[in-house]
Every structure is written in C-alpha cells, then in structure tokens.
Structure 1
Amino acid sequence: MSAEQKRVRGDASPVVRLTNVSKRYGGSTAVALDQVSLSVSPGEIFGIIGQSGAGKSTLIRLLNALERPSEGQVEVDGVDLAGLSPAELRTLRRRIGMIFQNFGLLSSRTVAGNVAFPLELTDATRTDRNAKVAALLSRVGLAEYADRYPAQLSGGQKQRVGIARALATDPDVLLCDEATSALDPETTRSVLGLLRDLNRELGLTIVLITHEMDVVRTVCDRVAVLDHGRLVETGAVADIFESGAHPATRRMLAALSL
C-alpha cells in the first residue's frame, strides 16, 4: 500500500476497529474495559488518553493480540484478531509495529542488531537486512550510532532505535505505549516530531496511548478518553480541548493548565 493510499480518510475502511469490547481477567467481576467501541482511520494519529487504571494498557494488549476480549470484536485491517490461528497472528503482527515506554531494546545487541532483529524472523537476505537497517537508522537520525550499544545511548536515542525497529517490517499501524513518558520535555518534542514526520511521509497510522494531554495536543488528530474502563469522550483534538465535557477530560485539561 502506498503512502498516499494509507492517508486516505473519510469513507476509507478503518485500520483499527473495536466493537463493544469488554475485558475481564479470570473470575474477577472487575472490568478492565467495558463496552468500548472506536475506530481509527488510515493515516490518522489517534490518541487514547486516561489516568492510571483507565484501561489503556489492556486496550493496547488487545490491539496487538497479546490479550483477547471477553466480549466484542477487535479488528485490524478488517481482520478479526480472535479468529486467527497462532501462525496467522504472527503474520499479522508484522503489520503492527510497537514502541514501548521502557524502549524494550536488547542490551547485548548493537543499535543495528536491535533494528535487524524483526527482519531475522523473515526470509530477507543478509544484504537486504543490512540495507534496510541502514535506511531506517538514517531515517531516525542515528546512522552514526549503528555499532553502539543501548547503554551508550540517551533516552531519546533509545526511543528512536525502538521506532526504527518497529518500522522494520513496514507495518500499517504503529502502536505507541506511553512512548514519551520516560523522556524530558525537549526530547519528547523531538520524538513526537519524528512520529509526525513518519505519519506524513509514510502514511503510517499511529495509535498513541498516553496519560499526557500535552502529547495529544502536540501530535494527534483525534483522541478518545478512557475512564475506569469506559470510553467517555471522543472527537477531534481541537474540539475536545475546547469543549471536553466529561469530568475525566476536564481533570486532565485542568492539570495541563497548572
């Protein structure tokens, strides 16, 4: 799919769709997610925000099929994740990139080795892998760091390596799980700028999980607000910031203005 095709919005089929999704753990009556329905359009940067315990971590584990819903349907690229075999799930996950709050890098591998890791699980030749890794490191501004190890990098550099690794399999969707919460404000702005550039240049659909309203304001097109497992508000970022009505939204907006 071309970058232009990925950026088609409006009447295009959603890349991500949750329909009446609930999640309970074990025999507990506590509900981590309660009847959540939302959709993410191709080429969109979609924010999912909520405080601790809102259900964000559960939602992202459903999106990459590490968990299955207790009720409802989770679809990526029109495919119901619950109906896939283990082999089909492995194939689908190549189309879903993931970056993490704690970077998730392998300390024993160089920067290039970390980025190459997903490619080693494909049938790409060593020559093709090396070329792809070099191109990705150049794209994220780390070409000269290929032979360094994670311990030799700053937090922002580690996250850029994580982004390059997530892009290695040319995903349709990039999931960002609190990807900037461990970074200082200046580095956060730099990483968010990189994500915005990748969205525009590649037509990459990004789902960004965060508890920071400033992150949403900086980079997202639309946002959904979670509160105690329920989707309480969703809309264009400008509309939510101007007239967000739910108490959970107002609390986060008030904290932003402090």
Structure 2
Amino acid sequence: MTGDHDVLSVTYGERAGCAVVRVAGTLDVAGYPRLRDVMLKCAAEQPSAVIVVVERLQVATASLLSVFAQVSMRLSDWPAVPVLLVAADELARRLFEHAPVSRFVPVFRTVESAVRDAQRQPRRRRAKLTLPRLVDTAQQARNFTRRVCEYWLPDNEVAADAVVITNELVDNVLLHTQSEPSLRLELRRQVLSVAVSDQSSAPARIREGEDGLSGGFGLVVVAQLAKAWGSTPAMLGGKVVWAAMDCGPPVPMFQPFNPSP
C-alpha cells in the first residue's frame, strides 16, 4: 500500500448475486465520500452482499479505512446486507487488522471465499411490484402489501403498519415526483422492510408543518411506525425510501411470494 499516488479508481459489477466493488489508487479525503457513496448505492439494489476488492490501494491515512466500518453500520438497518473485504495482499490485510477494520468487516483472500460467506447469510423473502401512475396506484400498493404480509406473517400485527407505511411512501412518490413507484418488500428473520424507489434524486424528508403545508401525515407516520427509515440514492439514478419494522421472533423461510392472484 505504498508507492506513487494515483487517483482513486472505483468500479463495480455483480458476482453470484453480490455487488462487487473494486478499489485501486489512493484513498484520500477527497476519495472517501465517493467510495462511501458507491458502496451505499450498490447496497440499495439489495444484493446478497457488497464485496469490496482492494487492488493496489494506497491510503493517505489509516483512519480513512473507517469508511468500510461506517458503511457496514449504516447498512445494518436497511438493506441489512453485509460488507465484505477482499485483500489478496498480506500487507493490505495487516493494515486492515491494525485499523482495526476487521473487527467490524470481515476480510477474505479471494472473491470466491467472500461469495461463499455471503451465501451462508440467513435467507430472505422478497416481493416486488412496479406500479403505474393511476388514480388507484396507492390502493394497488396497499393491497399488494396486505397480501404479501398475510402470506409471510399471518396474524402478525406488524402487517397493518406495513400497509400504512406503503401507502405513505407511494403517495410521496406520486405527490413529489413524476415517477412510477417501485415497491419492494423484504422479510429477514424478525425484520420486515418496505422500500419504494423513484427516479427523483431529491432525498425524501419530513415536510409536514413546513410553510403551512397540510395533507397526509406522510413521513411523520413512517418515522413513528418504523424502527428506522431513510432515503438512499440508487446506483442508476433516483432514490430508495425505506422503512424497517420489527415483527417478533424469527420467521421460518419457505416459498417466495407469488404476486399472481
């Protein structure tokens, strides 16, 4: 990790359902936010893991390696995908150990071994629906969420909260963008998440009470019902607004939801 300083190079691809980010050059203060944002955007697509491959990386100061631990902690609520490091070089692995990044983010020697680790992560249930901009769009979203929750979580009270959150997030897209909302539901162990993506890059924020605006409760209700919520930029543009809810003891994983009536 020494030598001539190069501009930080960050590229990304896919491998066996995992997002693979390759990093080379010099990680400095200017490159830190770029690397962080690429990892966050990759995670917004809900891969099995974000695998970061360190290739000929130089570090201006060891404290900048905290970017990996910070992103890992930020992803813990949603989409709850692990960040895994790959460092084939022994010197690089020692630097991570001394940072100490490896206390928060596991370090592997090969991409293959990182992929195998990702495949051992707990199974998830996922359901997705892209919605048109029609007068009954929010109703379609509510009905979809209700049906999914009835299948995944029968008689669980969190289903009602998920329907309300779905309604508010979809309404936000219809009210503040010209996009067709895309709804994603995911169940992992005892956490149910609702995520709605759109093509607007403007981050979602609580608006109620500002400038005399009136209307639905929007994100105020989302913040009250969810254990955590946020707005994350998407890799291909736009954003994902998400909310995560506790739903009790871990739920067994069976067949995925079939959205067909």
> TM-score, normalising length from structure 2?
0.32
Q: Which of the two has higher C-alpha Rg?
A: 2
| Structure with more contact order per residue of length (Cα contacts < 8 Å, sep ≥ 6) | 1
> TM-score, normalising length from structure 1?
0.33
